[in-house]
Amino acid sequence: MEKMGDLVESRQSDLNKSFKLAIHSLLTTCSKQEFGKAFNNFTASEQDCLHLLFIQVINSLHENIEDELQSLCLET
């Protein structure tokens, strides 16, 4: 039985690693220059505030998605 548990744990670990790689590429923040181009009608100060907020949202999403995956893996 221990081998089956090891196999499940190994598969969950592989899934977790793959998921993190996929999410990282999807949730990678854009550069400040790219962000400025997208919001060129805003002042530099407003762009800075929006960019900071954007980074905070992306980081929060990243953490929440990783936590949810971990929770799902533990349930199975």
pLDDT in tens, 13-24: 777 788 777 777
What are the φ/ψ torsions at residue 31 (nearest 5 degrees)? -70, 160
- The first and second tokens of residue 66, run together, are 């990783």
pLDDT at site 4: 63
Report whether pLDDT(1) > 60.
no
Each residue's pLDDT tens digit, 59-71 = 888 888 888 877 8
pLDDT of residue 30: 76
Mean pLDDT of the chain: 80
Looking at the chain, the whole-number percentage of residues with pLDDT higher than 70 is 84
